[in-house]
Amino acid sequence: MTSPKANARLVITGAGGAVGHALVPMALEAGFDVIAVDLPGADIPCPDRVEVRSGDLRRRRFCKDAVAGGDLIIHAAAQGPGSALYEEMIGINVDAVRWLYQAASDAGAQRFVMLSSADLYKPRRGVLLEDSQIEPGSAYTATKAEAERFLRSEPKDGLSWTILRPSLSYGPRCHAFNTGLLTVPPLLRMFFSYVPGLTGGARNNWVHVEDIASAALLVATHPEASGQIYNVADQTPLAYGEILVALIQAYGLQMGPTIPFPVSIVQALSPFIDSDMTFRFLSGFLSPMWKRVQERHKLTGPLEPNVYRAGLAYLQGDRVVVTDKLTALGWQPRWPDLRQGMAQTVRWYQQARWVPDYRALPDEDILDEGIGLSYRERLDAQNGHLELTVTFPSLRRLALDQDAILEGTISLDGIATEAELVGTLRVHKARRDMVYEFAFTGDDGQAHRFEGVKHLTLLGLVSDFAHLRGTLVGSHGQKIADLVWRMDPREELASFVQGLKPSFGQ
């Protein structure tokens, strides 16, 4: 990195965030005079050594005040993908970029650095270079693309700019959408005395917030960085299974048998789950279980088991962010391997009470509580329909074959009209069968019984789950009819997912 001029003034927006907390002391050590910008009440690092400017960057007047007297500007503030609406993010991610850049240009600044995102790249297998095709897939990436277009449209003789596209970020204070993966080991720990490991899956590389900060500081002063875009990521692409194993090891949890990452299942389900409604529901489904973890361990941090559509691309195929262009400037990550940086991150989260620290807890304190699961199914036959509520009393016991309770109603022409039913569903994992048995009383007052099965295959998982085939018998055991019940995969799967609910025992 070229040396900054004497007493160069560096403006850092989002100074109280995860990148800002790494960047401010790094800039001070490098000899900059730092102007730290964030909302009132933000936790600004080194407050006695920096000039703090508090305000809202969604206000144009404050943007002008924020960069006044600054020689270099690093815009690290952003509204993340936790807000689904474009209108909620445009103020920080787009408008503030325009206003800060224009004010800095008017004030005679030397360079403007913006943190964008590698999520901009079009989902595809393989490596991602700075000239790879971009295709915003969410409101968040749409705002980043618009901000990039603004900077790239500015005259070349205007204020120098540089864009950084970090990969999935992690590190102390970071609660980006992908860090919700850190809640997975504690959630699994609620059910099992050990946490199963995974192997395989799509490969991608993350990046520590300290390495994002060092990259921003480098391009803020490097003469060759003007008007350029740079990827920022670590140098060790890992399969998703390896990432989860790294998390388990960082927690120090006992690891159970390693199983293959279900790539085929993810690919088979993706056309049906790729909707904002489904992802919002999944976040809502996991939230009460995570709240239970927080209550038990007295956690206070903002980490959530959030599930976003942007993360689906990282599960379906390799997304390796290449940083050759940045390393050619002399940048080297402090944390080139997530497996090293994640251990440091989890320790910080534990000390900050964002995640549990299992070193002080006996197994009995973790495993004494049963957690069940219920969901709804609606299936139709040629001459009727079936509505079921399926309840598994203990998710932990799903590691073994276990009966679920069936309740609901059945209607069949000439036999039953909204008759109440009760029964069981047994999961045979070895045979990959779901066996349904239930009884009901027909309109004629006679007892009837249905026995059916869903046989699940890996390639036809969704289609198989949508078909229940079986036999209806009468009160004397006589066969009445063969029945095939069906649900429309696209229409009913959303209803099925919305019906999923956790239940907690005493």
Cα gap 145→382, rounded to integer Å: 50
Asked if the model's pLDDT at residue 225 lies above 60, the reply is yes
Asked if the model's pLDDT at residue 367 lies above 90, the reply is no
- C-alpha dist (Å) from residue 498 to 57, 154, 289, 476, 492: 37, 47, 16, 38, 10
Q: What is the mean pLDDT of residues 165-174?
A: 95
Asked if the model's pLDDT at residue 240 lies above 80, the reply is yes
Asked if the model's pLDDT at residue 488 lies above 90, the reply is no
Measure CA of the first residue to CA of the last residue in the chain; give whole Å.
59
Q: What is the mean pLDDT of residues 58-77?
A: 96
The DSSP element (H or E) to which 349 belongs, if any, is helix 338-351
Model confidence band, residue 375 (pLDDT cutoffs 50, 70, 90): confident
The per-residue pLDDT for 438 is 96
Backbone angles phi, psi at 387, to 5 degrees: -125, 125
Cα gap 294→390, rounded to integer Å: 28
* Cβ 381 vs Cβ 485: under 8 Å: yes
For the domain made up of 9-364, give the CATH fold.
Rossmann fold (3.40.50)
Asked if the model's pLDDT at residue 11 lies above 90, the reply is yes
Most confident of the ranges 57-71, 308-322, 384-398: 57-71
Cα gap 109→128, rounded to integer Å: 32
Asked if the model's pLDDT at residue 273 lies above 60, the reply is no
Return the closest-CA partner of residue 1 out of 231, 265, 216: 216
- Domain ranges (residues) in the chain: 9-364, 371-504
Model confidence band, residue 278 (pLDDT cutoffs 50, 70, 90): low
Tokens 């003469």 appear where? 223
Q: What is the mean pLDDT of residues 170-184?
A: 89
Cα gap 62→56, rounded to integer Å: 7
Asked if the model's pLDDT at residue 7 lies above 80, the reply is no
The per-residue pLDDT for 2 is 43
Model confidence band, residue 500 (pLDDT cutoffs 50, 70, 90): low
* Cβ 145 vs Cβ 184: under 8 Å: no
The per-residue pLDDT for 80 is 79
Q: What is the mean pLDDT of residues 81-85?
A: 65
Whole-number percent of the chain with pLDDT over 90: 58
Asked if the model's pLDDT at residue 163 lies above 90, the reply is yes
Model confidence band, residue 139 (pLDDT cutoffs 50, 70, 90): confident
81-119: b (≥16 Cβ within 10 Å) or e: bbeeeeeebbbbbbbbbbbbbbbbbeeebbbbbbbbbbb
Where is average pLDDT lowest: 243-257, 283-297, 473-487? Answer: 283-297
Task: Name the residue with higher pLDDT: 168 or 360.
Answer: 168
DSSP SS3 for 306: coil
The per-residue pLDDT for 189 is 81
Model confidence band, residue 498 (pLDDT cutoffs 50, 70, 90): low
Task: Name the residue with higher pLDDT: 273 or 111.
Answer: 111
Which two tokens mark 397?
A: 């016991």
Asked if the model's pLDDT at residue 18 lies above 90, the reply is yes
The per-residue pLDDT for 402 is 67
Neighbours of 407 (CB within 10 A): 15
Asked if the model's pLDDT at residue 281 lies above 70, the reply is no
The H-assigned helical ranges of 196-322 are 209-221, 240-251, 263-273, 276-297, 312-316
As a whole number of angstroms, the longest Cα–Cα distance in the chain is: 96
Query: Residue 361 carries which side chain, given as an amino acid letter?
Result: L
Q: What is the mean pLDDT of residues 282-292?
A: 77
Mean pLDDT taken over the chain: 86
Cα gap 146→94, rounded to integer Å: 7
Asked if the model's pLDDT at residue 83 lies above 60, the reply is no
Q: How many CA atoms lie within 13 A of 1 on its CB side?
A: 17
